[in-house]
């Protein structure tokens, strides 16, 4: 599986241990991380309001704005890189559960990889509703999430090698590896297939929702950021979706 620790870029993965003794071995338990996330959300809230006021006073004046939500270790040039971890290279320190501090219809595109599966359903709806609010007409959203469909097919075919054998815990059984992929030791709040994403994105104000792929993008064209260039052909680990207003 290609979704290793370096890919865990969301707000829910800030406290992955980075010391050599822990690297690749364990995660801080989710019950403790939840307490930290609550503190981070409160600490970042003033920054949200400052940015919101700034966007009202100094609008973009037609300049294109492209957001990268939950950037983590992957800083993208040409994007406004947003993350809740202030130790990362970012443009805005923000817990996206607070909202997006941008004016209505002021953003050209939004890009996010392996982040929304870490949100509770109400948090997910709030964030997607915010995305629809800030996007300009015909603006788009590109989401990349773990593929539930692929995981189910790999499990049914007993493809142990398709799953990572040690992250976040070591399992030899295909069931244990499937659990690692889908639940990620309690970090993942939900799992997505195309139909589920189409349903929830449609409810939040997106009129067109379509499946995409690595290196393929209606939204970004040839300039689409690379995510998993060496992905397994035929049974990808990630689901790529683009949605338009």
pLDDT tens profile 47-94: 766 777 766 545 556 689 999 999 999 999 999 999 988 888 999 999
How far apart (Å, rounded) are the C-alpha atoms in residues 99 and 23?
A: 32
- Average pLDDT on 13-35 reads 49
Question: Are 226 and 196 a contacting pair, CB within 8 Å?
Answer: no
Closest by CA position to 126, among listed 205, 211, 49: 205
What structural domains and CATH numbers belong to the chain? 5-244 (3.40.50.150)
Q: How many CB atoms lie within 10 A of CB 195?
A: 10
Task: Tell me the percentage of the chain whose pLDDT exceeds 70.
Answer: 77
Give the chain's length.
Answer: 245
User: For residue 63, what pLDDT is reported?
Assistant: 80
Instruction: Kindly state the tokens that stand for 123.
Output: 């948090």
How far apart (Å, rounded) are the C-alpha atoms in residues 245 and 61?
A: 21
pLDDT tens profile 208-225: 999 999 999 999 999 999
Q: If you average pLDDT over every residue of the chain, what do you get? A: 84
- 168 backbone dihedrals φ, ψ, rounded to 5°: -85, -10
Which comes out higher in pLDDT, residue 126 or 63? 126
Residue 10 scores a pLDDT above 60: no
- Average pLDDT on 5-22 reads 36
Which comes out higher in pLDDT, residue 107 or 50? 107
User: For residue 62, what pLDDT is reported?
Assistant: 66
User: For residue 19, what pLDDT is reported?
Assistant: 31
Residue 40 scores a pLDDT above 80: no
Task: Tell me the percentage of the chain whose pLDDT exceeds 90.
Answer: 65
Residue 39 scores a pLDDT above 50: yes
The CA-CA-CA angle for residues 14, 4, 146, to 5°, reads: 90
- Average pLDDT on 114-137 reads 96
User: For residue 231, what pLDDT is reported?
Assistant: 75
- Average pLDDT on 227-231 reads 85
Which comes out higher in pLDDT, residue 152 or 228? 152
Give one DSSP letter per residue of the chain, joined into a string: ----GGG--SGGGTT---STTTTTT----HHHHHHHHHHHHHHHHHHHHHHHHHHHHS--TT---EEEET-TT---TTSEEEES-TTS--SEE--GGG---S-TT-EEEEEEES-GGGS-HHHHHHHHHHHHHHEEEEEEEEEEEEBHHHHHHHHHTT-GGGS-SSSSS--SSHHHHHHHHHHGGGT----B-HHHHHHHHHHTT-SEEEE-BTTB-TTTGGGPPPS-TTPPSSS-SEEEEEEE-
Residue 169 scores a pLDDT above 60: yes
How far apart (Å, rounded) are the C-alpha atoms in residues 40 and 226?
A: 29
pLDDT tens profile 139-160: 999 999 999 999 999 999 999 9
């Amino acid at each position: 599986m290609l979704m290793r620790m370096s890919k865990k870029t969301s707000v829910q993965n800030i406290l992955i241990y980075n010391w050599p003794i822990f690297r690749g071995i364990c995660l801080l338990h989710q019950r403790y991380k939840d307490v930290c996330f609550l503190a981070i959300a409160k600490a970042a809230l003033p920054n949200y309001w400052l940015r919101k006021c700034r966007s009202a006073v100094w609008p973009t004046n037609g300049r294109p704005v492209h957001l990268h939500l939950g950037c983590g270790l992957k800083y993208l040039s040409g994007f406004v890189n947003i993350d809740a971890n202030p130790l990362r290279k970012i443009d805005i320190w923000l817990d996206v559960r607070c909202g997006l501090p941008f004016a209505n219809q002021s953003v050209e595109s939004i890009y996010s990889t392996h982040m929304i599966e870490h949100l509770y359903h109400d948090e997910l709806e709030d964030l997607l509703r915010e995305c629809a609010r800030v996007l300009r007409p015909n603006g788009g959203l590109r989401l990349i999430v773990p593929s539930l469909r692929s995981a189910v097919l790999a499990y049914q075919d007993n493809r142990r090698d398709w799953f990572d054998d040690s992250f976040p815990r070591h399992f030899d059984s295909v069931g244990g590896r499937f659990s690692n992929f889908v639940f990620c030791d309690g970090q993942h709040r939900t799992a997505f297939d195309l139909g589920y994403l189409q349903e929830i994105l449609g409810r939040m104000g997106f009129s067109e929702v379509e499946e995409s792929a690595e290196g393929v993008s209606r939204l970004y064209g040839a300039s689409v950021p690379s995510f998993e260039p060496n992905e397994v052909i035929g049974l990808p680990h990630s689901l790529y979706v683009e949605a338009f207003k």
